[in-house]
Amino acid sequence: MTTDTPQVPAFRQGKCPYCAAPISMHQAIHPGHCGAQNCFEVHIIKGAAKRRAERAQDYSNKITAVRQQMSGRLAESDVIAVVPHQDGALAPLPEDRLAAFCAHLDRIIALAFDTEQQSTPARDSGSAPPVPPALAAAGCSACQGSCCRQGGGETHAFLTASSLRAVMESAPQIDAVTLRAEYLAALPERSVEGSCVYHGLGGCTLRRDRRANNCNSFFCYELNQMAIVLGDAVAGPVILAGVDQGQARKLLTFTSDSGAATCTKEPEL
């Protein structure tokens, strides 16, 4: 009696999509090319371009979703820009998070006042926003601080010893005790749960020249994409939609002549 042995199909050797060199099955799966330096660089460039295209399409899809959600309430001619949105609950800072922040603050203050540490250049004034500053501020108002919930700011507020040295450079007379008291006094009574310790009801409760550099210089993808999509339309009214989970949660109408945003249209949730 004979037993049939399953036949394993012969492997068809593939080719690198960039240089057409033969590649193994393993290479075809990962990294997806032959591994040569030139092909690796092309793979990275193409991957980055694909990611940019996907994000741009996602931005466009969100605008379409806002138009559909607000059908009948927005005109076709209305210019729409989208930003993220968060609406986390406000609560007193939990003791464990306050203790963790205080420990972090004490550590970086000690480092900042350590005379053996290298001196730090003056605080970076930050890059210019990709859209007019007033429009960027309005976009942040529609967002309500999604970026503040990223990167662990709930225990360190993104502050470093370098942040404090920049403060010390602008205020040479300040001492460690005064600096510590100033940062603690700026903590709000109630902050957004799961966000930066300084994320209060009206935004950041820490004065701008005391914040970490990246807090003053960071502009999210949506603000940068807004500049690309709006172009010359920035001169007219812009509907700014704060979007979360595919739905507009907050709408502001920005007018460039007044340089201000007003909450004239509220989404029906």
Indicate whether 233 pLDDT > 80. Answer: no
Which positions ≥6 away from 125 have C-beta within 8 Å? 216
Identify the pLDDT of residue 255: 87
Confidence of residue 10 (pLDDT cuts 50, 70, 90): very low
Instruction: Write down the pLDDT at residue 77.
Output: 86
| pLDDT value of position 109 | 96
How many residues in total does the chain contain? 269
| Residue % of the chain over a pLDDT of 70 | 87
In this structure, of 70-74, 79-83, 93-97, 162-166, the range with the lowest mean pLDDT score is 70-74
pLDDT for the residue numbered 140: 92
Using 50, 70 and 90 to split pLDDT, how confident is the model at 11? Answer: very low
Decide: helix, strand or coil at residue 86: coil
Res. 39 pLDDT band, cuts 50 70 90:
very high
pLDDT at residue 153, rounded to an integer: 82
User: Once rounded to an integer, what is the mean pLDDT over residues 223-241?
Assistant: 86
The percentage of the chain sitting over the pLDDT mark of 90, rounded to a whole number, equals 61
pLDDT at 160 over 60: yes
Interval 94-133: pLDDT, tens: 999 999 999 999 999 999 998 776 555 555 556 788 888 8
Instruction: Report the distance separating Cα 174 and Cα 169, nearest Å.
Output: 9
**pTM of this structure:** 0.79
Q: Residue 183 in contact with residue 163, Cβ under 8 Å?
A: no
Q: Do residues 264 and 78 touch, judged by C-beta distance below 8 A?
A: no
pLDDT surpasses 90 at 197: yes
pLDDT digits (tens, 9 = 90+) for 244-264: 998 999 999 998 776 566 655
pLDDT (mean) for 217-225: 91
3-state secondary structure of 251: strand
What pLDDT sits at residue 2?
A: 54
Question: pLDDT-derived band of residue 75, with 50, 70 and 90 as boundaries?
Answer: confident
Angle at 137 between CA 84 and CA 248, to 5 degrees: 30
